């Protein structure tokens, strides 16, 4: 995009005066941000409308996801449009800079990798001129803002949109009415343009906001029934108020199901309307022009909803409609854990969306007929039933109706085929594919690490890595170039200094940039094993104090994670890590060697700073539990080694960069199935004094859980099992010694700074596979069958 500085300054000044009655010097950063967005969207309007037509006139793909963790849009959009320097120079004329946009809130519309992957995919598709658009929910408060009180996570509402959604526009004319058994609401769309890098193609993210048909009852208010006067408004807005509301009660489950049906019903209605506008009334051809990717099980209810609308609104019979669904839908699985494969009680579904349950029952009947025709036994059919034990199994519905089911890393897909979804793979082997995840190098390299990105471009003599990350492979020979390696180390040191300054401002903790930065940031879940990391730090702490661990290079351990509000043990692990930080950071014997900090409110903006500064990327999920991971890829691109298990995409990272340049430990997937049959964590605890010493800190008073009982609950879950889990369900104690050995070996290697920097450099140079551009190209050809649009308007 071309936007001359003088023109931009003039337009910005005029917009601030008209909208806010302020001069640029008087305006606050939110007003400036809104004005910048307004001007750029105005300039983009022609491309936005032409792109929408181009997407609709051809075959297009639609990405249905409960999460889109887009982060702060302003920097990414300026980068893609080539306006970063222009805007920065204009802002500096009145004492501001684009760095001031750090104050702008992230769009808190996701929880972790699932939502960030969706955002990366939209970015890549826009850049590749592919007709892909996203559909989801415009949460008012998103997830939550995290704070620590006495080391405990506390949640407060994250009103990310308090200053207005600068990069989205309300589209009142496309409002859809959504009906539940006990409620009717309006779904109002907000469109967020997804700007491609140096292209006219603009993707669209349509997010639905729930609103009441009658937001205010004047008669009730006049009768002084003030709460009842806005009751319908509040009930409607609850649907899009919060991402993943707590669902440990019937009411919570009802709200979750309403959220899923709400955005799927609205999105399907919207797609059918667009189809009619561009292609006419023959809905039998719908599958020729539309393909829908279901990002996990949250949007699977879209399948029976499309059947409902095709049959009841557009005159198709049931089998015709279901045949179209087979053409339209594809399903991405993100987990191998049975407990995470979504199921809904039939009673709940009948109470919320009875018309959908009736359709699912019809689909289940056809499934049974087809399986009997294929000569499956009654027992085999039982394992495939969509409705079983009065529960609707959403993953089974997705696999049965979809054209393709894909995993998100090679090992994950093999586990699905061999174990988690084995019954389905035996019936439909041709439907299963692998699509290893990726991340966009625009945000996760060019934007978050501009000095390193510029160094790579200068060294290669071009900037093609911006859209062809695989060309970064040409950097590998420079790992043996002393000047290049020195420059790489200088950039890493500068990034660490910036992170230290940021953490000191945000957390009030002073860090040493010359220490090794060992970072684990991701959603807090037991399978991700932040507890294993915490135990290892205590192991090092005691070893240093007693003298059994010597010559230890100073290390800063950084954690970042949010726990689901109702996940007790995860919240207990956060408290445990914060207690460890208090212990080791204040001990005179260890405070200069070990530093622990758990950053608050980890989000995309925090991640951008962390990945650029990391020496070590900690990816330690129990082998076979992490579908892929994308954080591991972000760290790799920015030049960190992986300390991890052979799980998810770690397997492919090690293949690309070499086992000698990473630190792999722990039991492998193929070993764990037999190990866990006889695994006795209590035996390890009883026999290994050093492991017993760290585990006992949970209950012997060394660390204080504030009387909550959380530490005792973690202790019992490890040694005796808790709830539905067996003892030490994620093999924490079993992998602890192997993890310690890898971590100590890494620490020794780090002391030869040049040699260690070479490992980091080689990881960066071999990260080309992990661009989401590559992933999206494969989706577009292997699953969606879509072609790039022409942008010659």
Residues involved in catalysis: 334, 522-523, 528, 630, 634
Cα–Cα distances in Å, from 616 out to 637, 641, 663? 12, 5, 9
| Residue 664 to residue 619: CA distance in whole angstroms | 10
φ/ψ of 407, rounded to 5, equals -90, 175
Torsion of CA 355, 211, 69, 524, to 10 degrees: -70
φ/ψ of 597, rounded to 5, equals -140, 130
Structure tokens at 34: 């809104």
- Write the DSSP symbol of residue 467: T
| Residue 659 to residue 661: CA distance in whole angstroms | 5
| Residue 518 to residue 444: CA distance in whole angstroms | 19
Neighbour count for residue 129 (Cβ, 10 Å): 18
Angle 15-20-25 from CA coordinates, rounded to 5° = 80
| Residue 233 to residue 226: CA distance in whole angstroms | 12
**Burial (Cβ within 10 Å: 0-12, 13-18, ≥19) of residue 167:** buried
Q: Residues 306, 310, 313, 318: is their CA dihedral positive or negative? A: negative
- Cα atoms in the Cβ-side hemisphere of radius 13 Å centred on 10: 5
| Residue 696 to residue 564: CA distance in whole angstroms | 26
Bridge partners for 189 per DSSP: 208
Q: Which long-range contacts (CB under 8 A, 24 or more apart) does 12-19 make?
A: 12/36, 12/39, 12/90, 15/39
Structure tokens at 207: 């997010």
Nearest to 598 by CA among 557, 632, 639, 659: 557
| Residue 106 to residue 706: CA distance in whole angstroms | 32
- Write the DSSP symbol of residue 771: B
CB 586 within 8 Å of CB 703: no
CB 172 within 8 Å of CB 188: yes
**Burial (Cβ within 10 Å: 0-12, 13-18, ≥19) of residue 304:** buried
Report the Cα–Cα distance between both ends of the chain, in Å, rounded. Answer: 14
| Residue 475 to residue 641: CA distance in whole angstroms | 16
Structure tokens at 418: 């061999």
- Write the DSSP symbol of residue 553: P
φ/ψ of 683, rounded to 5, equals -65, -40
Nearest to 375 by CA among 414, 328, 426: 426
| Residue 298 to residue 264: CA distance in whole angstroms | 9
| Residue 119 to residue 113: CA distance in whole angstroms | 10
What is the β-pairing status of strands 132-137 and 594-599? Answer: unpaired
3-class SS string, 557-598: EEEECCCCCCCHHHHHHHHHHHHHHHHHHCCCCCCCCEEEEE
| Residue 370 to residue 77: CA distance in whole angstroms | 49
- Write the DSSP symbol of residue 437: -
| Residue 166 to residue 34: CA distance in whole angstroms | 5
Structure tokens at 500: 């230290």
Cα–Cα distances in Å, from 632 out to 522, 605, 626, 653? 10, 17, 11, 8
């Amino acid at each position: 995009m071309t936007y001359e500085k003088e023109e931009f300054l003039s337009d910005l000044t005029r917009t601030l005066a008209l909208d806010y009655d302020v001069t640029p010097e008087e305006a606050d950063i939110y007003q400036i941000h809104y004005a910048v967005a307004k001007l750029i969207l105005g300039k983009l309007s022609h491309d936005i409308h032409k792109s929408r037509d181009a997407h609709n006139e051809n075959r297009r793909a639609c990405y249905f996801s409960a999460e889109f963790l887009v982060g702060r849009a302003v920097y990414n959009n300026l980068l893609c449009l080539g306006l970063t320097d222009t805007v920065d120079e204009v802002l500096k004329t009145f004492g501001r800079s684009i760095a001031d946009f750090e104050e702008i809130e992230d769009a808190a519309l996701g929880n972790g990798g699932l939502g960030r992957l969706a955002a990366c995919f939209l970015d890549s598709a826009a850049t590749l001129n592919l007709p892909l658009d996203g559909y989801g929910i415009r949460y008012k408060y998103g997830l939550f803002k995290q704070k620590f009180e006495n080391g405990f996570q506390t949640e407060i509402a994250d009103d990310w949109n308090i200053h207005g959604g600068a990069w989205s526009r309300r589209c009142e004319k496309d409002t859809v009415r959504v009906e539940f058994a006990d409620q009717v609401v309006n779904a109002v769309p907000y469109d967020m343009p997804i700007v491609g890098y140096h292209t006219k193609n603009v993707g669209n993210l349509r997010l639905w906001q729930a609103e009441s048909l009658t937001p205010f009852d004047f008669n009730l208010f006049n009768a002084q029934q003030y709460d009842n006067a806005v009751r319908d408004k509040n009930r409607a807005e609850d649907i899009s108020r919060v991402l993943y509301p707590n669902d440990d009660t019937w009411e919570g489950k009802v709200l979750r199901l309403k959220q899923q049906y709400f955005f799927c019903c609205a999105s399907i209605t919207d797609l059918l309307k667009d189809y009619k506008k561009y292609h006419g009334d023959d809905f039998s051809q719908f599958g020729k022009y539309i393909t829908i990717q279901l990002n996990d099980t949250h949007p699977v209810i879209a399948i029976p909803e499309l059947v409902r609308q095709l049959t009841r609104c557009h005159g198709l019979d049931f089998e015709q409609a279901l045949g179209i669904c087979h053409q339209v839908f594809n399903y991405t699985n993100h987990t191998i854990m049975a407990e995470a494969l979504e199921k809904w009680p039939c009673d709940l579904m009948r109470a919320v969306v009875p018309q959908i349950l009736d359709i699912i029952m019809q689909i289940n009947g056809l499934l049974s007929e087809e399986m009997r025709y294929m000569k499956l036994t009654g027992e085999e059919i039982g394992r495939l039933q969509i409705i079983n034990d009065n529960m609707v199994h959403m993953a089974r519905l997705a696999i049965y109706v979809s054209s393709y089911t894909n995993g998100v890393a090679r090992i994950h897909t093999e586990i699905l085929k061999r174990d988690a979804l084995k019954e389905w793979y035996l019936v439909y082997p041709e439907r299963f594919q692998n699509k290893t995840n990726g991340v966009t190098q625009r945000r996760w390299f060019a934007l978050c690490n501009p000095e390193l990105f510029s160094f790579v471009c200068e060294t290669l003599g071009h900037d093609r890595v911006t859209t062809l990350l695989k060309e970064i492979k040409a950097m590998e020979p420079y790992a043996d170039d002393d000047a290049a390696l020195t420059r790489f180390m200088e950039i890493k040191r500068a990034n660490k200094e910036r992170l230290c300054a940021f953490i000191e401002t945000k957390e009030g903790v002073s860090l040493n940039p010359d220490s090794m930065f060992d970072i684990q940031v991701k959603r807090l879940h037991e399978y991700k094993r932040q507890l294993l990391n915490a135990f290892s730090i205590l192991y090092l702490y005691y070893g240093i104090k007693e003298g059994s661990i010597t010559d230890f290079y100073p290390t800063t351990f950084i954690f970042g994670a949010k726990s689901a509000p109702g996940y007790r043990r995860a919240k207990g692990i956060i408290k445990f890590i914060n207690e460890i930080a208090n212990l080791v950071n204040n001990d005179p014997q260890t405070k200069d060697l070990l530093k622990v900090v758990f950053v608050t409110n980890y989000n995309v903006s925090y991640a951008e700073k962390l990945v650029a500064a990391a020496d070590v990327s900690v990816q330690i999920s129990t082998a076979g539990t992490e579908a892929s991971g994308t954080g591991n890829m972000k760290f790799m691109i920015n030049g960190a080694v992986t300390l991890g298990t052979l799980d998810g995409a770690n397997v492919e990272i090690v293949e690309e960069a070499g086992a000698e340049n990473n630190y792999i430990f722990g039991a492998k997937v193929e070993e764990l199935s037999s190990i866990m049959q006889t695994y006795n964590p209590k035996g390890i605890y009883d026999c290994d004094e050093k492991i017993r010493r760290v585990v006992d800190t949970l209950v012997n008073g060394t660390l204080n859980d504030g009387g909550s009982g959380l530490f005792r609950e973690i202790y019992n879950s490890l040694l005796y099992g808790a709830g539905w889990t067996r003892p030490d369900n994620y093999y924490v104690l079993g992998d602890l010694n192997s993890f310690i050995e890898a971590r100590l070996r890494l620490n020794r290697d780090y002391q030869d700074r040049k040699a260690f920097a070479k490992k980091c450099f080689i990881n960066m140079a071999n990260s080309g596979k992990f661009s989401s551009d590559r992933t999206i190209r494969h989706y577009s050809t292997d699953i969606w069958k879509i072609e790039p649009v022409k942008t010659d308007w």
